[in-house]
Structure 1
Amino acid sequence: MPPAVRRLLIVHHTTSPTLQELFEAVRSGATTDEVEGVETVTRAALRATAVDVLECDAVILGTPANIGYMSGALKHFFDTVYYPCLEETRRLPYGLYVHGNNDTGGAVRAVESIAAGLGWERAHLPVTVTGTVSKDDLTACWELGATVAATISPV
């Protein structure tokens, strides 16, 4: 009997061409042929629901750093899923990527604080990008997607 397919959810707030590049690199890594048995589902942060989280085996979060914090859209996502998912998703592996023009520290701290409150477990160090995206940044995002997907691969 073949192993069950696992689901990776990418929740993102993509507001610029820069964030689109990072999102595409993460999705490319998550869907690489090198990782088997993982279905990748993407949801905009304003459309992602508690059901999406309850049906996934890992999540990757993507956000801009806005005024030293995560985007309002990602905060809204957390506000809507926190209590419905609190008990059911403990130990859920997660990853994070953040883009900011100046600083990403506040956004990373905020997301990690909420993820800790949910009992989620970081599967990869956050990928933070400040300013213009480099080839190394895109590689880091690809590796984030591939690593989180490999973490839940049943194969």
Structure 2
Amino acid sequence: MKNILLIAHAPSENTRTMAQAVVRGCQHPGISGIQCQWLSPFDTDAEAVKQCHGIILGTTENLGYMSGALKDFFDRIYYPCLEACQGKPAALYIRAGHDGTGTQRAVDTICTGLKWNFVLPTTLCRGPWQSDFSSQCETLGTTFAAGLEAGIF
């Protein structure tokens, strides 16, 4: 059994809907041998990161940057995971009220330092809430889980 760890800051109903969609995608009926656990960045520690087979990160755009919750997560796990988690497959989705590019750049920079391997393009959900954001996140989860199951990632 392979484990996907979804580390998502979800302070609103809409962002919770997005995280739930990622989990639903990871649990697609056509995919077996994959488990997905969703944790808040505040509830995630280095051991959880070391034990999983792949990571999906979810964040809001806050003042052109990632959420403080995700930044706190990175601050706590960076050095304990630096050597142990190199090459770990990862994906990212961003709920951006504006353009999301600063948020994406900040997460990319930290994950590059960790030597995590982004295996899918960032899912960037920009502007006012759209119901399509949920389906984009579900597709992200399904694609990530299928790739992990097949050994592509």
- TM-score, scaled to structure 2: 0.93
Letter in 2 for 1:90: Q
Identity %: 34
2:138 is aligned to: 142
* Partner secondary structure for residue 153 of structure 1: helix
Aligned match of 1:152 in 145, 148, 153? 148
Work out the CA distance in 1 between the residues paired with 2:149 and 2:140: 14
1:49 equivalent in alignment to 2:45: yes
Letter in 2 for 1:133: W
In the TM superposition, 1:16-27 aligns within 5 A as 16-27=12-23
Which one has the bigger helix percentage? 2
Work out the CA distance in 2 between the residues paired with 1:24 and 1:40: 11
Aligned pair count reads 151
Work out the CA distance in 2 between the residues paired with 1:135 and 1:14: 16
1:33 equivalent in alignment to 2:33: no
**What are the superposed Cα offsets for residues 3-34 of structure 1, whole Å, 9 maximum, x if unpaired?**
xx000000011011221121111111011111
* Partner secondary structure for residue 142 of structure 1: helix
**What are the superposed Cα offsets for residues 99-151 of structure 1, whole Å, 9 maximum, x if unpaired?**
12122111111111111111111121111112333343222211111111122
* Partner secondary structure for residue 66 of structure 1: coil
1:78 is aligned to: 74
Deviation at 1:154, TM superposition (A): 5.6
* Partner secondary structure for residue 98 of structure 1: strand
Please give the root-mean-square deviation of Cα atoms over the aligned residues, in Å: 1.3
In the TM superposition, 1:104-143 aligns within 5 A as 104-143=100-139
2:9 is aligned to: 13
1:90 equivalent in alignment to 2:65: no
For structure 2, the 5+ residue unaligned runs are none
- TM-score, scaled to structure 1: 0.92
For structure 1, the 5+ residue unaligned runs are none
